[in-house]
């Protein structure tokens, strides 16, 4: 059974600890946080070992779950890999492309797994509509939130927008040809609101907006493709799918000549898909998937290269905004 340790016991880390303590295919051995009192608190709560140093944790686990802030990702991930540990690492994978590539190289050399925490890949509604998204040619995303200090140490592009960048790149099977972007710092020293237009070599366009200074919370992605339109609401965990009626083309000559009266609603088939109470939450599925990839020696759903790809685009967007 895989022995797991969690590093970083903040807002998100506490949920990782709770879930890993319940999974069947791994054993939560212990936890470590830069604050000793927090380490002891969680160790006592889940009856695991409170490690006094990160080095000690690495000697007793097979897997390290890194849920620290982004600025510490590289310095925590590198020694874990060098000690032969598989790593789960929250998004973004690192601060720089060079750091991410180094981690990937170490993992490849040692035959270790890296999974990056792009959790929207495991959102139940995203998984339900994956088969409906076929060659989208226009994608629009809005990820808006009221201000909170958590996550404000990095630009909103790395904090929020990178979720949608990863999703878009997973659905559009093409390389990015051009990026245009704008953004501004309002409440912090970093970019708080940003918009980017991604143009792909296959002609697809993605318009991506992220803000952490909005009056309301909104997290949506819309796919436009031939014969259908798909709208995903992450917060409501629902999907609206509009598809052209199969007999629309046979009806079109009569419609155009005026020989046939029609209701525009007759031209489309509508389906609403919702997450059910039986669906597992995205974080549980994400961690289960990672453990399974190690046990069965499979490629993680979001591996180090995926994390690097999303980071590279995010950094390009930030550079364009700065210019």
Answer with the residue of higher pLDDT: 162 or 249.
Answer: 162
pTM: 0.91
Inform me whether the pLDDT recorded for 300 exceeds 80.
Answer: yes
Mean pLDDT to the nearest integer, 125-137: 90
Inform me whether the pLDDT recorded for 130 exceeds 90.
Answer: no
The CATH class, in words, for 121-279+311-322 is alpha beta
pLDDT at 154: 84
Torsion of Cα atoms, 145 then 239 then 286 then 71, to 10°: -20
Mean pLDDT to the nearest integer, 83-87: 98
CB atoms within 10 A of CB 189: 9
pLDDT at 291: 98
Inform me whether the pLDDT recorded for 3 exceeds 60.
Answer: yes
The domain ranges of the chain are 2-118+283-301, 121-279+311-322
Mean pLDDT to the nearest integer, 20-43: 97
pLDDT at 268: 73
Cβ atoms 161, 208 nearer than 8 A: yes
Inform me whether the pLDDT recorded for 18 exceeds 70.
Answer: yes
How large a percentage of the chain has pLDDT more than 90? 80
Q: What phi, psi does 69 have (nearest 5°)? A: -65, 155
- The chain-wide mean pLDDT, for the chain, equals 92
Whole-angstrom CA distances from 287 to 68, 122, 140 are 16, 10, 28
SS3 203: coil
Inform me whether the pLDDT recorded for 62 exceeds 90.
Answer: yes
pLDDT at 149: 80
Query: Which two tokens mark 103?
Result: 């981690």
Q: pLDDT band at 251, cuts 50/70/90? A: low
- CB burial of residue 2 (10 Å; 0-12, 13-18, 19+): middle
The correct answer on CATH 3.40.50.620 for the domain covering 2-118+283-301 is no
């Amino acid at each position: 059974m895989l022995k797991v340790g969690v590093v970083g016991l903040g807002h998100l880390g506490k949920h990782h600890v709770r879930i890993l303590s319940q999974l069947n295919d791994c054993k939560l051995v212990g936890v470590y946080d830069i604050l000793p009192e927090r380490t002891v608190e969680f160790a006592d709560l889940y009856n695991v070992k409170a490690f006094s140093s990160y080095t000690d944790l690495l000697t007793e686990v097979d897997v390290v779950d890194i849920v620290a802030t982004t600025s510490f990702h590289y310095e925590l991930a590198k020694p874990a890999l060098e000690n032969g540990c598989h790593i789960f690492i929250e998004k973004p994978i690192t601060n720089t492309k060079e750091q991410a590539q180094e981690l990937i190289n170490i993992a490849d050399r040692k035959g270790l797994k890296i999974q990056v925490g792009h959790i929207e890949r495991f959102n139940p509604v995203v998984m339900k509509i994956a088969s409906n998204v076929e060659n989208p040619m226009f994608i629009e995303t809005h990820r808006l939130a009221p201000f909170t200090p958590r996550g404000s140490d990095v630009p909103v592009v790395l904090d929020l927008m990178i979720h949608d960048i990863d999703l878009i790149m997973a659905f559009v099977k093409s390389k990015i040809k051009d990026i245009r972007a704008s953004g501004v710092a309002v409440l912090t020293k970093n970019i708080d609101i940003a918009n980017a237009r991604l143009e792909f070599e296959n002609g697809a366009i993605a318009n991506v907006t992220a803000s952490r200074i909005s009056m309301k919370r909104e997290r949506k992605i819309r796919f436009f493709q031939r014969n259908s339109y798909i709208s995903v609401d992450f917060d409501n965990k629902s999907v609206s799918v509009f598809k052209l009626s199969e007999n629309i083309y046979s009806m079109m000559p009569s419609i155009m000549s005026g020989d046939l009266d029609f209701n525009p609603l007759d031209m489309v088939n509508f389906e609403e898909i919702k997450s059910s109470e039986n669906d597992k939450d995205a974080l549980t599925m994400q961690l289960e998937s990672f453990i399974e990839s190690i046990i069965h020696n499979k490629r993680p759903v979001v591996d180090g290269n995926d994390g690097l790809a999303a980071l590279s685009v995010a950094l390009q967007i930030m550079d364009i905004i700065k210019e």
